[in-house]
Homo-oligomer: A and B are copies of this chain.
Amino acid sequence: MQLKPIGIIHSPWTEAEGTPIQPAVARGVEGEVEVFPEFAGGLQDLEGLERIWLLYWFHRAAPARLKVVPFLDDTERGVFATRAPCRPNPIGLSSVRLRGRRGNFLLIAELDIIEGTPLLDIKPYAPWFDHFPARVPDWMEKAWAGPKVKVADTRFTIPEKK
């Protein structure tokens, strides 16, 4: 099971610290998805989608841990109950807003991803597939409703190689 990058995500966020932790708290943040020319044929028909899923490789994530203290929490949680990047398979998933397309570049908004992140896949966000009412545990409700600022720090990140 070998992955290949199909593109690169270009973002105003160059460091984990201060990057919004989810698209929902990244209103107004714009960027571009560069899809390598050999995959650009697969972009046909994206027009008319308001949102797309980006799947990407957490290239700056620290080695996997099974227990993490999530950004908005003070308690250790199982990593699969969180969206922390230091996962056994460090694949990220974000539903971003699609603003337009220029050839093999997609213009996107609500971007919570770091500059230079390798892109793995693009999927349409469709209500029948992805839009469910769903309860979450109390600890997660409280963390999201709490006063902490919803941006990342460096707890899950390795320093950039110079």
Contact = CB atoms under 8 A, between A and B. Distances in A.
Interface of A: 1-6, 22-24, 39, 41-53, 55, 57, 66-67, 77-83, 87-89, 91, 93, 95, 118, 120-140, 144
18 contacts: A41-B66, A42-B78, A42-B87, A45-B78, A45-B81, A46-B81, A48-B136, A48-B138, A50-B136, A51-B134, A83-B124, A88-B121, A89-B121, A91-B120, A91-B121, A95-B132, A124-B136, A126-B144
A45 B91 contact: no
Contacts of A42: 66-67, 78-81, 87-88
Given A83-B124, A89-B6, A1 B134 contact: no
A25 to B, nearest CB: 8
A2 B4 contact: no
Contact of A132 (B2, B51, B87): B51
Contacts of A121: 80, 87-89, 91
> Lowest 5 A-B CB distances belong to which pairs?
A48-B137, A44-B78, A45-B81, A41-B66, A1-B3
Given A3-B89, A66-B42, A131 B134 contact: yes
Given A43-B78, A80-B124, 15 more contacts: A1-B5, A6-B88, A45-B78, A45-B82, A46-B81, A49-B81, A49-B136, A55-B93, A80-B122, A88-B121, A89-B121, A124-B136, A125-B132, A126-B136, A127-B133
